[in-house]
A and B are shown apart, each in its own frame.
Chain A
C-alpha cells in the first residue's frame, strides 16, 4: 500500500466552471453552486482517490486558481511546480478553447521543460444547443498537446470524476515507472 501525493493545477479562463467541477469532484456530486462567485484567490481542495485493483491511493492537492486575467499574474506564483494539470474550457465559448494554448504556455513555464500529465476538459456539455467547440476539434488539439480529452457537465454532474480519476491513474503509473528506474540504477 502506498499513498501518493500530487499537486494538481486547475487552469483555464474565467467562468468556464473550474470551481464547479472541483467542488463536484470534492463533494462526490453533492454540491453544485447555482450562483457564480468568481475565484479571486487560490483554493486548495484535497481529495483521496483509490487506484482500482491495488491498495494504493493518490491524494490530489487540487489548486483551484482564478482564470481572470487581472488575477492570474498575482496568483501564478502559488502554482509552484504542478505534478498534474487539469485545463478547463467552456464548450459554449470558443474563445475559452482558443485561449487554452496560452494557458499551456504559462503552465509549461512552471514545469522546467518536463512533461506534466494532463487532461483537457470541455465543460457545460448540457448546453448542447449552444455548443461552439466540436469534440473532434478539441480532442485533436488535446492530443497534439499530450492531454487526454474529457467532456463534462458540472451542472448535471455528468462525467465529472473522469478527468481527475484519469489524472490520479497517470500519476500512479508514473510513480511505478519511476520506481522501476530507481531499482535499475547503478552505484555512483
Chain B
C-alpha cells in the first residue's frame, strides 16, 4: 500500500453546495492544512471530487471542524450521477482544534467521491446552530 499525497493535479472538485470566495472548495484538496473550505449555512452540504482516472481508494483522511455526520458515496461513471453509498460516520465534537478522522473506504475503483455533511456540531461557536463547517481531505491511501 502506497500513501499518496492528495495533490490537485489528478483530482478536482466538480461540485460544491456552497462557498465563500475567500475559502473556495479547491482548498479541500490542496494538501495544505492552513487553507479550508467553509460552508455558508444550512444542511446538508456536499462536495464531489472527480479523479482523472478510475482510482482505488483504501481510506481517506478528513480534517474538519463542526462536522457531526458525514456520508461518503462513490460512482464509476464519467458523469456526476448514480452514486452508491460507501460509508457514513459520526464525528466526535472538538473544541479549538480539528477533527481528524481516517475513514476506511475499500473502494476498488471510483471516478467520483461524494462527501455529504448531513449535520453540524453543537460546538460551532457562539450562537450558531451549525451553519458552517470546514473540511479538508488531506490524502488518500491507494491500493
Contact = CB atoms under 8 A, between A and B. Distances in A.
Among A82, A111, A171, A185, residue most surrounded by chain B Cβ atoms (within 10 Å): A185
Contacts of A111: 129
Interface string A1-44: 11111110000000000000000000000000000000000000
A7 B127 CA distance: 13
A96 interface: no
B40 interface: yes
A188 B98 contact: yes
Contacts of A59: 41
Interface in B18-58: 18-23, 33, 36, 38, 40-42
Give chain B's interface secondary structure class: loop
A174 B41 CA distance: 11
Contacts of A181: 125
A35 to B, nearest CB: 33
Give chain A's interface secondary structure class: mixed
Given A83-B128, A185-B98, A186-B97, A113 B40 contact: no
B129 A83 contact: yes
Interface stretch (B8-16, B78-86, B130-138): B130-138
Nearest to A118: B127
Contact of A174 (B100, B122, B128): B128
B40 A4 contact: yes
A94 interface: no
Contacts of A66: none
Nearest to A177: B125
B81 to A, nearest CB: 25
Contacts of A77: none
Contacts of A187: 33, 63, 97-98, 100
B143 interface: no
A140 B99 CA distance: 41
Among A115, A174, A182, residue most surrounded by chain B Cβ atoms (within 10 Å): A182
B94 interface: yes
Given A5-B42, A115-B127, A171-B131, 16 more contacts: A1-B21, A5-B18, A6-B42, A61-B42, A83-B129, A113-B122, A114-B124, A114-B127, A114-B129, A178-B128, A179-B20, A182-B132, A182-B134, A185-B65, A186-B97, A188-B97
21 contacts: A1-B21, A3-B18, A4-B41, A5-B18, A5-B42, A6-B42, A7-B42, A83-B42, A83-B129, A83-B131, A112-B122, A114-B122, A171-B131, A182-B65, A182-B132, A186-B96, A187-B33, A187-B63, A187-B97, A188-B94, A188-B98
